[in-house]
Structure formats: structure tokens, C-alpha cells
């Protein structure tokens, strides 16, 4: 994949701030983002911000050390980065990154699985995420999502339009959960739709019951009628995911 001009501008800015302390700059999540925007070969997303189509480009910068002055300098440039179609960069001190793999196994595992080096050395050389940490984090993610859906449903007070908002706003975190389950079973794919089909087979649920929800990533709204049709199988799948991951953890 080509490197966007905005990322090259970010590299220039970070070198101006950090100088030789900038070890690496990477783009991450581009394949996952592209698959989420085109789950069935056509656009489901919408414009994000100032004329940039699709999700903002996510980056990570690894630096020797990170100071308060660095953060202030970055803060002054954040608005210009957003204007260029970038998400706020994740800036990490080198000594923190490796030690954070066990604390954020899903987040950093996703970066390890889907990244491109823009500048500097490969910061992930020789690094792996421990499967035990992934199992634990995946179960926490699944249980949290289920609790969120139940609580969110109560807060709709029976209104179908509010239920539609709940489903749309939870689609991205559900898609992340589905990719985490695939990664847990070493069936990781940058395509959310592929991970969804894998999960449907693993849970023995109706084909499309997971794919229909993850396809809503980037969609701004759905009808009340569709929401009422989607939510019962969505909640059922969320419950089955918790039981499945819990059982997988026990077997593991």
C-alpha cells in the first residue's frame, strides 16, 4: 500500500519534534479498515471529517523517550493532522511498548498483525503476544460487550429508534470482538467479514447473524424495523460468544 501524504507530513513533524529520538513510525489497521468499509465489495462508510473518505489513518510512533515538551508540541499539531485525514497518533516510548504487550494483548496484537513500516526500524521484530494474555483479554472483551448490550437495551426504554442507535454505535466494538475471537484461534484475518463467517461456524449460529452486524460499521443509521429484527439474534450471539470464549479458556 502507498503511504498517504498526510503520514509523510506527520513523519516530518515528528522528526522536527523528536529528532533522532524518533525510532519508528508505522501505519496500522489499514487492511482491517479497508475490509470494514468494503465488507461485500462496495462502500458502506461515509465521509469522515474534512473531505477524507473512510476511517482516519492510524499511526504509531516509537520514540526513545517521551517528554512533556514533546506532548505539548504534538498537541499544537493535532488539528492539522486531523485535517490531513489522520487519527491522533499513538506515541509510545520504546521501553513502554514491549512491556505493554501483556496489558493490551488484543490492541497490540492487532497492530502486529496489520501494520506497515513508514520510517525507521521494525519495532515489532521478535515480538509476540502471549496466547494466555489474548484468552484473558478476549473473555473480558466479550463479557463487557454483552453487559453493554443489555444495559443499552434497558436504556432504550422500549423505543425502536433508540435500539437502532444502540446497534449502529456498538457495531464497531462488536467487529473488533469478532476479530479478537478469530485471532484467539489463530484464524486471524484482516477482513472482518471473514472473521464473522468463522465465528458463525464456530458458534453454530444462523449464517449472517454476525455478518449483518459487522456490516454496519461505518453506517450512520438503520431503520427501527431493521433494528427490531436484528437485535434478538445479536444479543443471542453475544451470549453465545461469552460462553464459547469462557469454555475455550478453560480448555486452553
Taking domain 5-120, whether its CATH number is 3.30.460 is answered by: yes
**List of the chain residues with pLDDT < 50:** 35-52
Question: What class, spelled out in words, does domain 131-251 have in CATH?
Answer: mainly alpha
pLDDT on residue 51: 38
Domain-wise residue ranges, the chain: 5-120, 131-251
- In the chain, what percentage of residues exceed pLDDT 70? 86
Are 41 and 71 a contacting pair, CB within 8 Å?
no
pLDDT on residue 59: 95
Q: Which residues pair with 47 in a beta bridge?
A: 53
Minimal CA–CA distance to 17: which of 55, 51, 64?
Answer: 64
pLDDT on residue 224: 96
Per-residue pLDDT tens digits for 90-100: 999 988 877 77
The three state secondary structure string of the chain is CCCCHHHHHHHHHHHHHHHHHEEEEEEECHHHHHHHHCCCCCCCCCEECCCEECCCEEEEEEECCCCHHHHHHHHHHHHHHHHCCECCCEEEEHHHHHHCCCCCHHHHHHHHHCEEEEEECCCCCCCCCCHHHHHHHHHHHHHHHHHHHHHHHHHCCCCHHHHHHHHHHHHHHHHHHHHHHHHHCCCCCCCHHHHHHHHHHHHCCCCCCCHHHHCCCCCCCCCHHHHHHHHHHHHHHHHHHHHHHHHHHHHC
- In the chain, what percentage of residues exceed pLDDT 90? 55
pLDDT on residue 220: 92
pLDDT on residue 18: 95
- CA atoms in the 13 A half-sphere facing the CB of 49: 14
pLDDT on residue 251: 54
Amino acid at each position: 500500500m502507498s503511504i498517504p501524504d498526510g503520514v509523510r507530513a506527520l513523519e516530518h513533524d515528528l522528526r522536527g519534534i523528536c529528532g533522532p529520538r524518533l525510532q519508528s513510525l508505522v501505519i496500522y489497521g489499514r487492511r482491517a479498515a479497508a475490509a470494514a468499509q468494503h465488507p461485500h465489495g462496495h462502500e458502506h462508510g461515509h465521509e469522515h471529517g474534512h473531505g477524507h473518505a473512510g476511517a482516519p489513518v492510524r499511526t504509531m510512533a516509537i520514540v526513545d523517550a517521551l517528554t512533556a515538551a514533546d506532548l505539548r508540541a504534538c498537541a499544537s499539531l493535532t488539528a492539522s493532522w486531523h485535517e490531513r485525514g489522520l487519527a491522533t497518533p499513538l506515541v509510545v516510548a520504546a521501553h513502554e511498548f514491549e512491556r505493554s504487550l501483556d496489558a493490551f494483548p488484543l490492541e497490540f496484537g492487532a497492530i502486529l498483525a496489520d501494520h506497515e513500516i513508514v520510517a525507521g526500524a521494525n519495532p515489532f521484530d521478535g515480538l509476540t503476544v502471549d496466547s494466555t494474555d489474548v484468552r484473558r483479554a478476549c473473555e473480558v472483551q466479550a463479557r463487557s460487550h454483552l453487559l453493554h448490550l443489555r444495559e443499552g437495551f434497558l436504556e432504550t426504554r422500549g423505543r425502536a429508534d433508540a435500539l437502532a442507535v444502540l446497534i449502529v454505535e456498538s457495531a464497531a466494538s462488536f467487529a473488533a470482538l469478532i476479530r479478537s475471537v478469530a485471532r484467539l484461534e489463530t484464524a486471524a484475518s484482516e477482513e472482518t467479514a471473514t472473521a464473522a463467517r468463522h465465528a458463525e461456524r464456530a458458534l453454530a449460529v444462523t449464517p449472517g447473524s454476525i455478518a449483518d452486524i459487522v456490516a454496519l460499521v461505518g453506517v450512520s443509521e438503520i431503520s427501527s424495523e431493521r433494528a427490531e429484527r436484528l437485535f434478538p439474534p445479536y444479543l443471542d450471539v453475544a451470549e453465545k460468544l461469552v460462553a464459547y470464549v469462557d469454555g475455550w479458556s478453560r480448555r486452553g
